C-alpha cells in the first residue's frame, strides 16, 4: 500500500496549522498520558492504522504499560484505568461517534465530575484534533510507520 497523496506536500500551510493546533493541545491542561489514551481510542474507533500505530508507539516511549495500551479497546471491562481516564475515554467515544441528538447529559455529567471546565474544553480540542488527523490519514492512506523517523518513534522499539 502506498499513500494516495502527500497531503503535507500539497497543503503545507494547512498541515502547519494542524500541527500548531496539535502542539497547543499537548501543552494544554490535560495530562499527556490521558491525551495519548484519547488518541489511541479515537484512532481505534475510526480505523486509522497510521495514527493508531503512531500513538501506540508514543505511549510506549512515554512509559505506558503494554497491558494498558492493549486494554484501551476494552477499557470499560478493564480495571487498569482511573475514573478520570474512563471519563476521558467516554468523552472521546461520544465526540468521535456523535450520537443523534448530541452528547447525552449523563455523559457530560460523568466527564464534569472528573474534569474542570477548562479541562473539558481542552479535552474536546484533543478529540477534535485526533479525529481530523484520522480523517486525513484515512482519506490519503498514510502508511503506518512511514513517519517513525520524522517523529522519533523508532525509540519505541516496536518495529
Residue 24 lies in a domain: no
Query: Nearest 5°: CA angle at 31, between 27 and 35?
Result: 85
CATH code for position 50 = 1.20.1290.10
pLDDT in tens, 134-155: 999 999 998 888 888 888 888 8
pLDDT band at 159 (very low <50, low <70, confident <90, very high): low
Contacts of 30 (CB under 8 A, 6+ apart): 88, 115, 119, 122, 123, 126
pLDDT in tens, 118-133: 999 999 999 999 999 9
Say what the pLDDT of residue 50 is: 95
Of 150 and 116, which is predicted with more confidence?
A: 116
Range of the domain at 50: 29-154
Say what the pLDDT of residue 147 is: 85
Confidence check: pLDDT of 3 > 90: no
Residue 13 lies in a domain: no
pLDDT in tens, 32-90: 999 999 999 999 999 999 999 999 999 999 999 999 999 999 999 999 999 999 999 99
Residue 105 lies in a domain: yes
- Give the predicted TM-score (pTM) of the model: 0.94
Overall domain count for the chain: 1
Residue 146 lies in a domain: yes
Residue 12 lies in a domain: no
- What one-character-per-residue DSSP string does 7-52 give? HHHH-HHHHHHHHHHHHHHHTSSS-HHHHHHHHHHHHHHHT-HHHH
Q: State the Cα–Cα distance between residues 25 and 90, nearest whole angstrom.
A: 19
Residue 8 lies in a domain: no
Residue 147 lies in a domain: yes
Say what the pLDDT of residue 132 is: 98
Residue 107 lies in a domain: yes
Amino acid at each position: 500500500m502506498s499513500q494516495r497523496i502527500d497531503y503535507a506536500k500539497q497543503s503545507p500551510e494547512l498541515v502547519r496549522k494542524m500541527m500548531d493546533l496539535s502542539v497547543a493541545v499537548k501543552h494544554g491542561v490535560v495530562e499527556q498520558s490521558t491525551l495519548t489514551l484519547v488518541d489511541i481510542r479515537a484512532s481505534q474507533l475510526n480505523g486509522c492504522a497510521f495514527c493508531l500505530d503512531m500513538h501506540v508507539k508514543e505511549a510506549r516511549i512515554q512509559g505506558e504499560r503494554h497491558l494498558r495500551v492493549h486494554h484501551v479497546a476494552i477499557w470499560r471491562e478493564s480495571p487498569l484505568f482511573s475514573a478520570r481516564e474512563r471519563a476521558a475515554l467516554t468523552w472521546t467515544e461520544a465526540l468521535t461517534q456523535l450520537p443523534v441528538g448530541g452528547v447525552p447529559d449523563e455523559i457530560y455529567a460523568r466527564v464534569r465530575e472528573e474534569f474542570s471546565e477548562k479541562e473539558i474544553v481542552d479535552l474536546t480540542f484533543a478529540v477534535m484534533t485526533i479525529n481530523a488527523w484520522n480523517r486525513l490519514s484515512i482519506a490519503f492512506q498514510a502508511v503506518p510507520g512511514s513517519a517513525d523517523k520524522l517523529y522519533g518513534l523508532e525509540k519505541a522499539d516496536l518495529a
